[in-house]
Amino acid sequence: MSSFEEYYNSFYKELSKLDEAGNKFSKIEDFLPTLKGYEKFLDIGCGHGGVSEELIKRGYSVSGIEINKDAVKSLEKKGFEVYQKDISKPLELDKKFDIVMILDVLEHLFDPYFLLKEAKEVTKRGGYIIVTVPLYFDIVDRFKILFTGSVISMDNLCYGEENYGKFRSYNYDHIRFFRPNEVMEMGENLGLEIDKIEYGATGYSGNSKLLKLLVRLIANRYTVNLNPNLLAHSMKIRWRVN
């Protein structure tokens, strides 16, 4: 068993269930291109399928690539065509897809560019690759690093304080830290055409009401596009494969 597989079947096993609870179809619903009804989807690193399960319910063919054994069983029950694979290695799929999704996955990989290149290979000409990534470092995380010395993002408080407290530099699952231009650069180097970009404002998950208020005033949907490098905590990008 590779170290990648070991991690996602041990430490990350319980967190994957929490990810499913916190990630729903609304994450990408308004970011999808106009659908014609026959599109075939591939969700890479899809966990338990919390985001793309709705597409199956709407009659679409959805395949998922996942390495967590419990998640694979869950996906099969939900009607996914499942590929149990290590996404740090060649995908070696025998078909191509209209829309390939890589949702909050690239930050977990030693070689995110490699996976993006693999994604292009399994996307039909004229199809789309949709990627979501957390961005580092927004204003909240910059202050956190300044005053605490820790790079572990505040957004992991979504797992609860107990789980958040378990993260250390040696087991933290985010190992690549992106800025907007770097994400766009990867696509440019692969010859992908930017079709749409959307930024999510920075958030604060702590207990300080004052800090929550300040963050909302400084970084919100009206200001985030003025300076994404400082104010955006997440990014969605849709590339077209020509």
Q: Specify the pLDDT at position 205.
A: 66
Q: Does residue 118 carry a pLDDT above 90? A: yes
Report the range out of 30-34, 133-137, 215-219 with the highest average pLDDT.
30-34
Q: Specify the pLDDT at position 144.
A: 81
- pLDDT bin (cut points 50, 70, 90) of residue 206 is low
Q: Does residue 10 carry a pLDDT above 80? A: no
pLDDT tens-digit profile of 144-198?
888 888 888 877 777 788 888 888 888 888 889 999 999 999 999 999 999 999 9
Residue 212 covered by a domain: no
Task: With CA atoms as reference, report the closest residue to 226 among 175, 164, 180, 165.
Answer: 180
**CA pair distance 123, 13, nearest whole angstrom:** 29
Question: CATH number for the domain including 131?
Answer: 3.40.50.150
Residue 126 covered by a domain: yes
Q: Specify the pLDDT at position 212.
A: 77
Sheet containing strand 232-240, strands side by side: 81-84, 61-66, 40-44, 97-103, 123-134, 232-240, 193-201
**CA pair distance 197, 195, nearest whole angstrom:** 7
Average pLDDT (127-133) is: 98
Residue 206 covered by a domain: no
Do the Cβ atoms of 123 and 150 come closer than 8 Å? Answer: no
33 secondary structure, DSSP code: P
Strands (E), the chain: 40-44, 61-66, 81-84, 97-103, 123-134, 193-201, 232-240
**CA pair distance 230, 224, nearest whole angstrom:** 8
Strand, coil or helix: 231: helix
Q: Specify the pLDDT at position 104.
A: 94
Give the structural domain span for 184.
Answer: 3-136+174-201+228-240
Residue 113 covered by a domain: yes
pLDDT tens-digit profile of 20-63?
767 899 999 999 999 999 999 999 999 999 999 999 999 999 99
β-strand 61-66 against 40-44: which pairing, if any?
Answer: parallel
Residue 153 covered by a domain: no
The two structure tokens encoding residue 38? 């026959």
What mean pLDDT is reported for the chain? 90
Number of domains in the chain: 1
**CA pair distance 201, 60, nearest whole angstrom:** 31
The two structure tokens encoding residue 227? 């300076």
Average pLDDT (200-218) is: 77
- pLDDT bin (cut points 50, 70, 90) of residue 239 is very high
Task: With CA atoms as reference, report the closest residue to 130 among 177, 94, 91, 97.
Answer: 97
DSSP characters for 114-171? HHHHHHHHTEEEEEEEEEEEEBTT-HHHHHHHHHH---S-GGGGGG-HHHHTT--TTT
Residue 185 covered by a domain: yes
pTM value is: 0.90
Residue type, 54: E
Residue 149 covered by a domain: no
Residue 60 covered by a domain: yes
